[in-house]
Structure 1
Amino acid sequence: MSAPWTEWDHIVKIDPDKSLVDGESYEDVCRTGTDAIEVGGTTGMTEEKMQAVVEACSEHDVPLYIEPGVDATVVHTDSLDGYLIPIVFNAGDVSWMTGAHKEWVRIDDGIDWARTNTEAYIVLNPDSSVATYTQANCDLDAEDVAAYATIAERMFGQEIVYVEYSGTFGDPEIVAAAGDALDEATLFYGGGIHDYDSAHEMGERADTVVVGDLVHDEGVDAVRETVRGATDAS
């Protein structure tokens, strides 16, 4: 049986530390046509904020995952489909390969390993919060990124490789190189997706397009356009 993300064209990532557009609800977000919801952020996470978003989204029939951020804040509930745990392959701080994960396991005895999976991140926007926190080496060309994608899949057995430009639209050639390097792993792309065309362009190069800031900044109508773009590209 294949993993659920092999069928996803589009994900909405909701940051519990950010609000939605005035007048919009998590129900509206879940009804955009996206294939899955990820809940997580880099900063400002608390269990209460996470719980509120998870509870609101769990009332709707969309796959729901938590992606723990810097402080590994999670909630445990049967309404979740699972947990997607970032491992930053180009991190300068090795904590983001194993150290932060070790600490989460040490303090959390409720981890459901049957629903826990990892994402091999390649962080490429040097100005992003995630690059700062992980001390990521973002000075990478297409060959470098393809090599990271290859070792993530071939050496570390990663089923998801995530090229993350976090807030800025990435280099399509670099994303394509990552995709070409992979055999069976699913390629996620996130960063700067803001309309039909940007979603379509990256959807032609990655398996799954991830939209984050857009849902908080522009709202569900804009998200629906990206769903159409990613779906049409698949």
Structure 2
Amino acid sequence: MNEAWYAGWRHVFKLDPDREISDETLDAVCSSGTDAIIVGGSSGVTFENTVDLMSRIRRYSVDCALEVSTLEGAVPGFDGYFIPLVLNTDRAEWINGRQTEGLIEYGSFVPWEETAAQGYIILNEDATAAKLTGAKTELSEDELVAHVRMADRLMRLPVVYLEFSGRFGDMRLVKRARSAVSGARLFYGGGVDNAEKARQAAEAAHTVVVGNVIYADLEAALSTVAAVKEVSADGLTAG
């Protein structure tokens, strides 16, 4: 696990291929000091808009990974690839159905050393991803921990992703989830729209993913980078 290509990421910006972003904003994001850019979205992702965004990001030295949510959006040329498996749904297509379809089509071309599974736990019922996958978002604390342990201990997934998608989650629960993992890296995403929330998320999770605020308030988005970097990997704030 310590050798994983994403193991050192503390702060990540996530960009949606289906949303417009100006050259000036993209330059600010890619030059911000973030550890990586993840490209991915829940709807409207195509080969064309993914290639276009990747080619623009490739002008910068920042790590760039693709979250493969559709076969149409599977694009070669990224530094790494994440394959989401939605754990809190009873629809098998989102756990191993679509993933298997992808491997039938592209299995011979997958760069396995740069590919990692993400155990997604979607916790905002209003999120597009929750509606699309039928995720059961109203989990008790014990249910959340059980899902985390399923991903980490039984399935041996390298990444567990708590996705609140536009809503800032309960950091106490995120910390509980982090304490339940033994080998996986805990990603957190959702509602991180200022430096203080970024700091709180960094104290709770291994990796903080910042997305929607980029399109609404660029300065606030950029402020999250330094806020996360102020928190050490063990969740302690410097100074």
TM-score range normalised by the length of the shorter chain: over 0.9
Residue of structure 2 in register with 1:13 after alignment: 14
Contact preservation (8 Å) 2:91, 2:133: yes
SS at match of 2:88: coil
Alignment TM-score, normalising by the size of structure 2: 0.91
TM-score for the superposition, normalised by structure 1? 0.93
Greater Cα shift, 189-198 or 53-62? 53-62
Q: Which moved more, 1:93-102 or 1:3-12?
A: 3-12
- 1:70 deviates by 4.5
Paired position in structure 1 for 2:237: none
Q: Deviations over 1:94-143 (max 9, x none)?
A: 11110010111223353222221111111100110110111001110222
In the other structure, the counterpart of 1:157 is 156
Matched, 1:69 2:69: yes
Alpha-carbon contact 1:32-1:223 (below 8 Å) kept: no
Deviation at 1:72, TM superposition (A): 5.5
Report what 1:135 is aligned to: 134
Cα offset, 1:214, TM superposition:
1.2
Query: Equivalent residue of 1:87, what SS?
Result: strand
Aligned to 2:95: 97
AA matched with 2:15: I
How far the C-alpha of 1:85 sits from its partner, in A, is 0.8
Q: CA RMSD in A?
A: 1.5
Q: Is the 8 A contact 1:76 1:110 kept in 2?
A: no
- Does the CA-based 8 Å contact 1:72-1:104 persist in structure 2? no
Aligned residues: 230
CA distance in 1, matches of 2:66, 2:91: 23
The one-letter code of the counterpart of 1:50 is T
Runs of 4+ in structure 1 deviating by more than 6 angstroms, as ranges, are: none
Write out aligned runs for 1:78-227 (5 A).
80-108=78-106, 109-219=108-218, 221-227=219-225
Give the match's secondary structure for 1:5.
coil
Query: Cα 1:81–1:100, aligned 2, differ >3 Å: closer, same or farther?
Result: same
Report the AA paired with residue 169 of structure 1.
F
Output one character per residue of 1:172-228: Cα deviation in whole Å (capped at 9) or x when no partner: 111111001012211100000001000001110101100111112222x22221111
> What whole-Å deviation, never above 9, does each CA across 1:125-172 have from its counterpart, x for those lacking one?
011011011100111022211111111111111111110000111111
Please say if residues 145 and 177 of structure 2, whose CA atoms lie closer than 8 Å, have aligned partners that are also in contact: yes
Cα 1:7–1:14 change in 2 (3 A) is same
Instruction: Supply the distance in 2 between the matched residues of 1:218 and 1:84 (Cα, whole angstroms).
Output: 27
Give the conservation status (yes or no) of the 8 Å contact 2:5–2:114. no
Classify 1:23/1:103 alpha carbon distance in 2 versus 1 (closer, same or farther; 3 Å): closer
Q: 1:23 to 1:76 in 2, by over 3 A?
A: closer
**Aligned partner of 1:2: which letter?**
E
Amino acid paired to 1:118:
A
User: Matched residues in 1 for 2:198 and 2:6: separation?
Assistant: 17
Structure 1: distance between partners of 2:209 and 2:57:
17
Residue identity in the other structure for 1:44: G
Over 3 Å counting, the alpha-carbon distance change for 1:103 and 1:23 in structure 2 is closer
| Residues in 2 aligned to 1:174 and 1:11: alpha-carbon distance in whole angstroms | 21
Structure 1: runs of 5 or more not aligned: none
